[in-house]
Amino acid sequence: MRPGELCALTWEDIDFENKVINVKHSVFDKKKNENGRWYIGTTKTKSGERQIHISPTLMKALVNFKNKQMELRQLYGKEYHYYHFEEVKNQYGKVLEYQIVENPSNVLSIKPANMIFIRDNGKYCGTDIIKYPYKIIHDELGIENCRFYDLRGSYATTILRNGVEIRDVADVLGHKDIETTENYYISSTNENKKNVSNVFDNLISSETINNIIKYEIAN
């Protein structure tokens, strides 16, 4: 997923029963006002709206991460941050986008924005949440010219080299167009797209990842 798509995810976008992520939005920042600077709108392109099938490892990670967030919410109590969406309309009353606004009193009558990627205390910081780990990657590990966005390329390269059809990869990444021959001669099915996630899951499976995705709070 693109960084903006990832940071726009809410828990309502995760269909645990059918094991799919519904990618429908993208987050972006604008000039800061009294309500902050983060907004949520449509995906970069129409083809960006898509479903991504959840592999077994990712399913385990999401379930454990959600449980961890619930524990942290109890741990922080009144200091926990809550948010909701506010409509941004044009002069004709058409909703253009939504601003992600903090609800400091946690007013229960306001439908919450259950963002997935937040800090431990519930603070939402959009795609800025990616900056700290990549500062470590750049400054401490010395891996320069490396961006979060590059993971999309690594993902595609890895699964393509292991037999996944390029049309399926394009669909999962939210790309509308590939080469003409590939568009006309390679078909994509839901079963094939499920296989995309499972192939990558098997390739990167390790005890280290299994330990990480437990998301246990240290005593």
Structure confidence by residue, pLDDT tens digits, 22-66: 999 999 999 999 999 999 999 887 878 999 999 999 999 999 999
Rounded to an integer, the average pLDDT of 76-87 is 95
Q: Write the DSSP assignment of 79-137 as a string of letters.
A: G---EEEEEEE-TTS-EEEEEEEE-TT--TTSPP--BSS--TT----GGGGGHHHHHII
Q: Is the dihedral of CA 143, 148, 150, 155 positive or negative?
A: positive
Distance CA 134, CA 64 (A): 24
* R_g (Cα) of the chain, nearest Å: 19
- Please write the tens of the pLDDT for every residue from 175-189: 777 653 243 334 566
The rounded distance, in Å, linking the Cα atoms of 1 and 196 is 14
Q: Which helix (H) or strand (E) holds 29?
A: strand 26-33
Structure tokens, 201 = 């899951």
Instruction: Supply the mean pLDDT for the chain.
Output: 88
pLDDT of residue 19: 96
Q: Which residue has the higher pLDDT, 174 or 15?
A: 15
The total of other beta-carbon atoms located within 10 Å of residue 203's CB is: 12
pLDDT at 208 over 60: yes
Domains of the chain by residue range: 3-212
First to last CA, the chain: 33
SS3 assignment, position 24:
coil
Yes or no: is domain 3-212 CATH 1.10.443?
yes
- pLDDT of 45: 77
Query: Are 57 and 207 a contacting pair, CB within 8 Å?
Result: no
| 92-131 pLDDT, tens digit each | 999 999 999 999 887 777 899 999 999 999 999 999 999 9
The residue ranking higher by pLDDT, 56 or 144, is 56
Tokens of 174: 């939210």
Answer for the pair 78, 103: CB distance below 8 angstroms, yes or no: no
pLDDT of amino acid 186: 43
pLDDT of residue 144: 85
